[in-house]
Structure 1
């Protein structure tokens, strides 16, 4: 049995995992009063993880996840490809990220990273200095997963609380609980257990990474895409505001099973008349939006089972390839 440790590139973008609070009980106001760590500082907080792998720290960004913007997605995707091309001995990549927008970044990277190297994204619900922090456990689990043969071919993974989730379907479900990341309907991919074993029980069926048509080497800017919620009495004010702002597509977070509020329909028609792409997702939290005949006739796209924030990510990438509604619908059916 080989004792050679895997070599893991450790990319940092910030988030809770990169903070220390005023003391061990500061697990809530650390962003206001604490100290931000760079990627090497995080490793120094948890030196034990280097027993599991040779870790190469690479600082990318140091921002909270509420500060992440689409330009950061492009930069991170390109950095991953640079790491892949410049380090031919890297076995896996671990990326730290704030949990608030982690699922969006993970899905973007899942669609654009042109590498076969396993990529694991992690965050933390409590700062690295916090009492009973999950930061060290998440980091160790991610390093073990990224360096394992079991992780090959799974696309981008999200790993917190020893649970391995697929980037496409995972979502944050709780503001504070450690088990916040869940995959509605489909369930996790597997576990990263304390014995070091990476146990995988299902594999993603949708194309990802090297098997998609999206390559950030050929994308300099992402188009504006906005999300509009549906709720009882919602009207077209927000939709019309986004039209005026120059949006290229609007994702409607519809009432389940895929219906906007009736007063929104006039503004949706106006958007379609201006050749703005309209996509129906749902606020329900799980389940597919089915494409009814009226949607086909109007040129409205169904987001499949992507939640609104994931649908926005795919719409932005799809618009770099085509503005044809049927082509974009095919992307939603495929990815």
Structure 2
């Protein structure tokens, strides 16, 4: 990954998924936004960014682009992402929500073949506090420090960051992997990234009902993660017979555990993995402090 203040970043599409406020905030944070891509608007300026019709035109003028932030209509995301991959952009953040699942499957196959990191769809992006902001996360909730956050939620991601900041616990990196039914990078990938990150001492994992990614993360934590992990699972009161639309199971499977995808299933898996789970976001800092104290004593 290249997540530094020198990273060259572009925005593909200007839509309801991103506002001028978000773009100004990224620029004020020091993110190196070099251009926007909006077919039919080449040669103009939008939000103080030069606009091009094609990604390859941006590359021709500015050289290698590290990250693109895609904000087009969900049915146009696949074409935009494939255009970025064809221009050798290897970090893609998809802010747009509601991307067709089959489009996402096709994109993931291409991304895997080209070793491209996909964050989203339906993600507010990534922030490395004090260095770079990629997306729509509110930077005022963050401060540099040792706690990494990986989340399926959007707003809960920055709520957790705010609680940590209020408690004097800064963050090393925060990423929302997205909350569409199918997303790019997984909890497992980001747990590994944070476990290997020299600036991260503890990890906060934020989950919610739907799918089985938290259960898989719990198993992976037991098998491969050395740093302490603290979790919070939202939606504990969601009726078990219902699924959240954006994270709901795509198909019923005969023989599947009736508790699959429920908050209780995730809580059980994390308990078995001996991962401390906060009952509410405001209690996360206390659990993080406890784990950091154990590290210091050890």
TM-score w.r.t. the length of structure 1 is: 0.27
**Between Structure 1 and Structure 2, whose CA radius of gyration is higher?**
1
TM-score w.r.t. the length of structure 2 is: 0.30
